[in-house]
């Protein structure tokens, strides 16, 4: 199955030094910037991005053009790029940062021009030193080449980009926690409203976009929003990066046009499950997403189809689990991650995620009790009432409810297996490695 390259076109064509300015310019880099700044108005660029129908690649899938329309008029305004990528199984932004940092920088400059921001920040997780080095180098090269700084390409538009490294907290990927962290505060999500577009960084209007989202902007400006919208299904336009991992023969990042089936993705692109073992289940969109089972193999990989089936494409992390997976251990690993990463502000998440983690640990270690299943589900219900999709929350941000997804998934799809484990009550080894 061949897939078009949009985001990865430059790194695929140039496998050795795609991160350098020279190589980027050689394959047409910064032509979108020239076009945008010299021949388009900010309104025109915003219109193209809106027409592209691109939806945010950071997890929530919010239409980028619509979000940009919410930016309040107050000055100064900021553009913040979310490169915190810390969800287990997600490693797509890393490749974009490391292998094509100029594409991102170009996207940022054009977007900042479109949004009338004189200052942009890139927030990259602290565990990404190499991508961060390359992004910084790209910023420096761009500044030296006159793409950044004062009066860019004679357009009268000036922009500065500052790179900031995180300090090891997944929650700082949540946009308002990220803004707090940038401001030097504790990385805790803020109450919404106000939304960042109205009151964001330093209480000023701010657009937060994912690395991948903005990396698409140069192509959209060069080729037009309509051309982008024409790729893939209407409400899941464009190509999208997926990080495939777990029990598959060909793990890695894939840029694909949405609208293929899961079977095509996992078996044709991913090469299927190793050693001919049976597929047991998969996570379609990151650790927060409810799990899919093989009966859904022929449904489509689109934002809407996945949503209708009670899950999400989220951050694009697809984690495959085969028949050898102990689902209690797998769920425990994921819940442990959320408990560890909870910022601790709000009661249900701080207390509830740890409680879930400890009960799952007991069951996994031969100390389960029959009543633990209902207990787990009821604790989940107290974090995410009704356990419905999209989730309701008693919490401030979606991290707490995310921890209920694995628990609810194993109880929905594998309850007899959990019951049997509790009945046998012995320590079972094994589990999928994630996180």
Partner 1 sequence: MADTPQPELVTITLNGVDTEVRKGQLLIDAAEQAGTYIPRFCYQNRLKPVGLCRMCLVEVEGPRGTALVPSCTQPCTEGLVVDSENAVVHKAQEGVLEFLLLNHPLDCPVCDKGGECPLQDHTVAYGPGESRFVEEKRHYEKPIEISDLVLLDRERCILCARCTRFCDEISGDSLIEFVDRGNGTQILTFFDEPFASYFSGNTVQICPVGALTAKPYRFRARPWDLEAIESISMVDSVGSKVSVQTSQNQVLRINGVDSDTTNHGWLSDKDRFTLQAIHSEDRLRVPLVRKDGELVEASWGEALELVAERLGSVRGDEVAGLGAARSTNEEAYTFAKFLRSVVVTPHMDAQLDDALSDEFLAATLNRAEINDLETAGTILVWAGDLKEELPVLYLRVRRAATILGATLIVIHPRRTGLSDVADHVFTYRPGEGADTLRRLKAGDGPFAEARQALDSGPVMTIVGRTGGAEDPRLAESVAAFARTLPDAAIMPLARRANVYGALDMGVSADLLPGRVSVRDTEGRTALEDAWGPLPEGRGKHATEILQGLKSGDLKALITLGADPVGNHPQPALAGEAVESAEFVVSLDTLLNATSARADVVLPVAGFGESEGTATNLEGRVQKLNRIIPPPGQARTTWSVLDDLARRMGATLGAHDAETIMKEIASIAPAYAGIDWALLDWGEGRDGVVLPGPDGTQPLQHMPVETSVTATTGRFTLHLGRVLYDNADVVRNSPSLDVLVQPASAAFHPRDLAVLAVQPGDSVRLAGDYGTVELAVRADESLAEGTVYVQANMDNSRALGASLIVQVDAVRGEGS
Ligand X SMILES: Cc1cc2nc3c(=O)[nH]c(=O)nc-3n(C[C@H](O)[C@H](O)[C@H](O)COP(=O)(O)O)c2cc1C
Residues that bind ligand X (CB under 6 A): 56-60, 62, 64, 67, 82, 84-86, 171, 173-175, 208-210, 213, 397-399
User: Which option in partner 1, ligand X, ligand SF4, none does residue 347 bind, with CB closer than 5 to 8 A by kind?
Assistant: partner 1
Residues in contact with ligand SF4, total (CB under 6 A)?
14
From the CB of residue 421, how many other CB atoms can be counted at a distance below 10 Å? 21
Q: Report the residue number, 38 or 162, with the smaller CB distance to ligand X.
A: 162
Closest approach, Cβ 171 to ligand SF4, in A, equals: 5
Closest approach, Cβ 399 to ligand SF4, in A, equals: 4
Distance CA 202, CA 196 (A): 10
Three-state SS annotation for 363-388: HHECCCCCCHHHHHHHHHHHHCHHHC
Pairing assessment for the beta strands 239-246 and 206-210 based on DSSP bridges: unpaired
Among 36, 65, 400, 406, binds ligand SF4 (CB under 6 A): 400
342 binds partner 1, rule: CB under 8 A: yes
Q: Which residues pair with 365 in a beta bridge?
A: 427
Closest approach, Cβ 354 to partner 1, in A, equals: 4
Among 23, 345, 384, 409, binds ligand SF4 (CB under 6 A): 345
Measured CA to CA in angstroms, residue 242 lies from 69, 148, 270, 287, 343 at distances of 27, 30, 11, 14, 27
Contact string (CB under 8 A) for partner 1, positions 354-393, x = contact:
xx--xx--x------------x---x-xxx-xx-----xx
Residues of this chain, 118-177, that bind partner 1 according to CB under 8 A? 169, 171
Distance CA 12, CA 26 (A): 14
Contacts of 80 (CB under 8 A, 6+ apart): 120, 121, 122, 123, 175, 178, 179, 182, 196, 200, 201, 206, 207, 208, 209
Among 342, 384, 408, 409, binds ligand SF4 (CB under 6 A): 342
CA 423 from chain centre, in angstroms, equals: 38
Pairing assessment for the beta strands 160-165 and 206-210 based on DSSP bridges: unpaired
Angle at 252 between CA 246 and CA 257, to 5 degrees: 110
198 binds partner 1, rule: CB under 8 A: no
Among 8, 20, 64, 395, binds ligand SF4 (CB under 6 A): 395
Q: CA-based Rg of the chain, rounded to a whole angstrom?
A: 22
Q: Report the residue number, 56 or 310, with the smaller CB distance to ligand X.
A: 56
Closest approach, Cβ 265 to ligand SF4, in A, equals: 30
Report the sign of the C-alpha dihedral through residues 190, 192, 196, 198, in that order.
negative
Among 89, 321, 341, 407, binds partner 1 (CB under 8 A): 341
Closest approach, Cβ 383 to ligand SF4, in A, equals: 8
Closest approach, Cβ 370 to partner 1, in A, equals: 13
First to last CA, the chain: 29
Distance CA 33, CA 19 (A): 17
Closest approach, Cβ 191 to partner 1, in A, equals: 5
Please tell me whether residue 238 adopts helix, strand or coil conformation.
Answer: coil
105 binds partner 1, rule: CB under 8 A: no
Distance CA 311, CA 188 (A): 25
Q: Report the residue number, 50 or 247, with the smaller CB distance to ligand X.
A: 50
Closest approach, Cβ 342 to partner 1, in A, equals: 4
Contacts of 412 (CB under 8 A, 6+ apart): none
Closest approach, Cβ 305 to partner 1, in A, equals: 20
Half-sphere exposure of 59 (CA within 13 A, CB side): 18
Q: Closest by alpha carbon to 138, among 58, 83, 219?
A: 83
Q: Report the residue number, 188 or 212, with the smaller CB distance to partner 1.
A: 188
User: Which option in partner 1, ligand SF4, ligand X, none does residue 208 bind, with CB closer than 5 to 8 A by kind?
Assistant: ligand X
63 binds ligand SF4, rule: CB under 6 A: no
Residue ranges that bind partner 1, judged by CB under 8 A: 169, 171, 186, 191, 339-348, 350-355, 358-359, 362, 375, 379, 381-383, 385-386, 392-396
């Amino acid at each position: 199955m061949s897939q078009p390259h949009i985001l990865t076109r430059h790194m695929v064509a140039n496998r050795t030094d795609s991160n350098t300015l020279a190589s980027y310019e050689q394959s047409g880099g910064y032509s979108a910037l020239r076009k945008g700044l010299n021949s388009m108005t900010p309104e025109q660029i915003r219109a193209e991005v809106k027409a592209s129908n691109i939806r945010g690649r950071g997890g929530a899938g919010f239409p980028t053009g619509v979000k940009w329309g919410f930016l309040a008029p107050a000055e100064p305004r900021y553009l913040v790029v979310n490169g915190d990528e810390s969800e287990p199984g997600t490693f797509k932004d890393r490749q974009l940062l490391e292998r094509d940092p100029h594409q991102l920088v170009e996207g940022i400059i054009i977007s900042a021009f479109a949004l009338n921001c004189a200052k942009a920040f890139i927030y990259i997780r602290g565990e990404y030193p190499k991508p961060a080095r390359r992004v910084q180098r790209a910023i420096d090269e761009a500044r030296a080449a006159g793409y950044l700084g004062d009066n860019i390409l004679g357009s009268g538009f000036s922009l500065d980009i500052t790179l900031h490294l995180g300090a090891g907290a997944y929650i700082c990927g949540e946009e308002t926690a990220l803004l707090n962290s940038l401001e030097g505060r504790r990385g805790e999500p803020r109450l919404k409203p106000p939304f960042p577009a109205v009151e964001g960084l330093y209480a000023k209007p701010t657009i937060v976009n994912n690395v991948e989202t903005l990396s698409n902007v140069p192509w959209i400006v060069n080729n037009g929003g309509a051309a982008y919208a024409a790729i893939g299904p209407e409400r899941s336009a464009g190509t999208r990066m997926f990080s495939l991992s777990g029990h598959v023969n060909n793990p890695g990042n894939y840029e694909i046009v949405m609208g293929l089936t899961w079977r095509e993705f996992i078996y044709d692109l991913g090469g299927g499950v190793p050693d001919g073992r049976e597929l047991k289940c998969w996570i379609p969109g990151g650790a927060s997403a409810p799990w899919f089972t093989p009966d859904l193999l022929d449904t489509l990989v689109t934002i809407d189809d996945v949503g209708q089936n009670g899950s999400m494409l989220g951050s694009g992390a697809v984690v495959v689990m085969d028949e050898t997976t102990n689902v209690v251990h797998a769920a425990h690993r994921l819940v442990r991650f959320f408990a560890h990463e909870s910022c601790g502000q709000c009661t249900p998440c701080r207390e509830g995620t740890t409680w879930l983690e400890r009960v799952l640990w007991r069951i996994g270690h031969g100390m389960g009790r029959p009543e633990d299943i209902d207990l787990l589900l009821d604790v989940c219900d107290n974090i995410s009432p009704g356990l419905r999709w999209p989730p309701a929350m008693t919490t401030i941000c979606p991290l707490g409810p995310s921890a209920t997804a694995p628990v609810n998934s194993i109880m929905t799809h594998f309850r007899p297996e959990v019951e049997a484990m509790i009945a046998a009550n012995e320590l079972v080894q094994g589990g999928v490695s994630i996180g």
